[in-house]
Amino acid sequence: PFDDEIKAQEEPGVSPEEIGDEFRNIVHDAVSNAIMDPNPKNNRDAKKTADVLQQLDPAFARSLDPEARKQFFKFKKPLKPPKPYPKSLPKKPLPRPAERRLHMVQSDVHFHVNKPVMPDI
């Protein structure tokens, strides 16, 4: 068992630079594939991720796939300034105040109280 540990320490293995390069390549491929994803949510999230990674490393976007790079830079394009709002319509005039008048309502009620009539069966 101790011989295995000694051999593991002696073998050079993979250098940290190689691990970092491999990780960066995997991230570039993953972000490129996600930008090309037809799902709008995945596409939007990948473009935001690429934007953050570009802020950390300005050369990040140049190493994306050509089509993904094209879509990413289209996403980064500044928006057009908003158009001015149209003039508001003139306000509707207020209604005239009501006049106080007396309105007669006739409400005569007649009650006929009789013995109920049973139908002939």
Mean pLDDT of 46-56: 91
Which amino acid would we find at residue 107?
S
The confidence band for 2, taking pLDDT boundaries of 50, 70 and 90, is low
pLDDT: which is higher, 61 or 30: 30
Q: Express each pLDDT in 3-17 by its tens digit.
A: 555 555 555 677 888
The two three-digit tokens of residue 89, written as one number = 């319509």
User: What is the pLDDT, as a whole number, of residue 10?
Assistant: 54
What's the CA gap between 71 and 69, in Å, rounded?
A: 6
Is the Cα dihedral 111, 116, 120, 121 positive or negative? positive
Q: Among 74, 60, 75, which Cα is nearest to 28's?
A: 60
Residue 69 parent element (H or E)? helix 66-76
pTM for the full predicted model = 0.52
Lowest model confidence (mean pLDDT) among 22-31, 43-52, 98-107: 98-107
Residue 3 carries which side chain, given as an amino acid letter?
D
